[in-house]
Amino acid sequence: MALKKKVGYKCRVAGVVFLLLAGIAALVTVAVIQNTLKSQEYGLEYGIVIDSGSSRSNVFLYDWPGEKENETGVVTETINCKVEGIAISGMKVNPQLDAETWKGFESCINKIKGIIPAEKYRTTPLFLGATAGMRLLHQRDEQKSNEIMESLREYLSSLPFNFQNASIITGQEEGMYGWITVNYLMGNFLEKNLWNNYVHPHGSKTVGSMDLGGASTQIAFQVEESGNGLDYLKVKLYGYHYTVYTHSFLCYGKNEADKRILDKIVQGSSNQYPIRNPCYPKGYNTTMVASEIYDSECTNKPKNYSPNQNLFMVGDPDSRKCGEIVKSIFDFKTCSSSQCSFDGVEQPPVTGDFKAYAGFFYLASALLLNGTSDLDQFNASVENFCNTHWTVLKEQKPWIKDKHLRTYCYSTQYALTLLADGYKFDKETWKNIHFEKSIKGTHIGWSLGYMLSLSNMIPSEVKEIPPLTNAVFAGLIFLFSALIIVTAVLVFIILVRMCY
C-alpha cells in the first residue's frame, strides 16, 4: 500500500512537471514564431551620415528594419569610418591640393559599398552635416564656405546612393541631435515588452548631454516647461513629446579655447622672451608661429601682427594662475536673467544625469577619471596634472600624443571652469556627470540622432505576409494555454490510471 502511494505521488509530480515544461515550450515557440516572422517580413534599410567637424570628417553607416516604431525607425550603427586628411573647413577647393582628403572620402565610401547590398544603393539616403568649423569659416569667408559645400555636393551626388543634402547644421541642431543619440542608446525612448514589441519605457527619465568639439560646445537636457528664448525646443520621438533646453557656444570648443587661452598668455607676457607659460608643464618648451593662434575668428589679432612670427614658450607651471587665465575667456558678469550660464546666456538649473562625451571624455581620460567622479576629486586631479613634470607625464600617459598632452593642463582647467562656473554643476550635481566615449559600443555624437530624426522620411517597407499583431499574438497565447491545460489534464489522468 505504501509503495502504491509513493508511486502515485511520483506520477502526480511527473504530471505537474510535464505541465510546466509544456507551458514553457509553447510560450517559447510562439515568441520565436513572432520574432522570426517579423525579421523575415522586413528587410534592412540603410542610411549614411557624414559628420564633417572642425578637426576631421567621419562617415557613419546606419541600418534599421523596414518597419518603424511610432513613426521613427529603430536605427543601429553599422560602421564609423574616419576620413583621412584635413577637415573640410581647411580645404582649398582644389582637387590636387585636397587629394588626400578626397582619397579619404573615397576609401570610406568603398567600405560602405561593401556592406550595403547593391540593390539597396539607390534607396539609401546620404547626408552630410558640417559643424562648427564650417560655421566659423562661413562667418570669415562665405564665398569659400559655399564653394567647399558645393564641391562636396557635386561629389556626393555622383555616388550611387540617394544623396539628399549637404549643409552646415546649426549649433542648436547639433546639441539636440546629440541629446537624441544619448537617450536612444540609453533605451529611454523604447524598450521591448514580453510580446517582443517596442513600447515606451514606463517611468523612464531622459539624461542630459554635453558635447565638447573642436570649435564649439553644446549642452542639452529635458525641462518641464519652456522658458524664454530660442534655446527651448519641442520634439516628438516615438509618439511622445519632449521639451529640451539646448545651447551651443561657438568658439568654446577645445581647439578654439586653447587658442584663446594661449592668446591671453601671449598678450600678458609683456614682450618677455621666452614667453613663460603657466599652463605648460615644467620641462616642456615649444616654438609656434603666431598664425597657429590667430588664424581664427575666435581670437583677436594683436597690433603689428605677423602670421610668421615665432613664439617661443617654456613651461612655468602655476595651476592657480593658469586657472585665472582660463576663467578670463568667459564672461560671468553679463547675465540676461537670474538663471544664467555665461556670456549672457539664460540657462535653467541642470537636473538629472548627464553624459559628457567627445572632448570631455578625452580630458577626463587624461585625468584617469572616466565614468563618474566628484568635484573635489576632479579639481585635485587637474592641479596634480598641472604640477607634474613633462617627462613624468610622458611616462605615465604614453597613449596621448605630445601635441595633445601639452595642452591638457589648461584644457582640463577649461573643462572644470565650463562645467562648474559655466553650467553651474556643484558638488552634488557633479556626481551625475558621466564621462563616456560610447554607449553599448556605439559612438556618441549628433549623427545618430540626426539619422533617427530623418528616418521619419523613409516609408515603411511592407511585405505580403503580415507579422503577428498584438491581438493575434495574445490570441495564440490564449489558445496554446487552453490546449496545454486540456492536454495536461488528459495526460495526468492517464498517468494516474497507469500508476494505480
Interatomic CA distance for residues 257 and 404, integer angstroms? 13
Q: Is 173 a catalytic residue?
A: no
Q: 324-343 in b/e burial notation, b at 16+ Cβ within 10 A?
A: ebbbebbeeeebeeeebbbb
Grid coordinates of 296 = 581664427
Question: Is the Cβ–Cβ distance between 133 and 215 less than 8 Å?
Answer: yes
Edge-to-edge strands, sheet with 285-289: 275-277, 310-315, 285-289
Q: Dihedral sign, CA of 255, 259, 262, 268? A: negative
Grid coordinates of 339 = 538663471
Question: 251 forms bridges with which residues in the sheet?
Answer: none
**What is the per-residue DSSP string for 28-60?**
HHHHHHHHHHHHHH--EEEEEEEEE-SS-EEEE
CB atoms within 10 A of CB 388: 18
Residues 6+ apart with CB under 8 A from 397: 366, 405
Cα-based distances in Å from 191 to 126, 203, 350: 28, 12, 26
Given 69, 174, 383, 436, the catalytic residue? 174
Peptide bond connecting 466 to the previous residue in cis, omega within 30 degrees of 0: no
CB atoms within 10 A of CB 298: 22
108-109-111-117 Cα dihedral, nearest 10 degrees: 160
Question: Is the Cβ–Cβ distance between 133 and 88 less than 8 Å?
Answer: yes
**44-52 vs 125-130, strand pairing mode:** parallel
Question: Is the Cβ–Cβ distance between 397 and 365 less than 8 Å?
Answer: no
Q: Exposed, middle or buried: residue 493 (CB in 10 Å: 0-12, 13-18, 19+)?
A: exposed
**What is the per-residue DSSP string for 59-115?**
EEEEEEESS-BTTB---EEEEEEEEPS--GGG--S-TTTTHHHHHHHHHHHHHHHTT
Place of cell 509530480: 13
Q: Exposed, middle or buried: residue 8 (CB in 10 Å: 0-12, 13-18, 19+)?
A: middle
Pick the closest to residue 151 from 240, 89, 225 (CA basis): 89
Q: Which backbone phi and psi does 192 adopt, to 5 degrees? A: -90, 135
The residues that are catalytic are 174
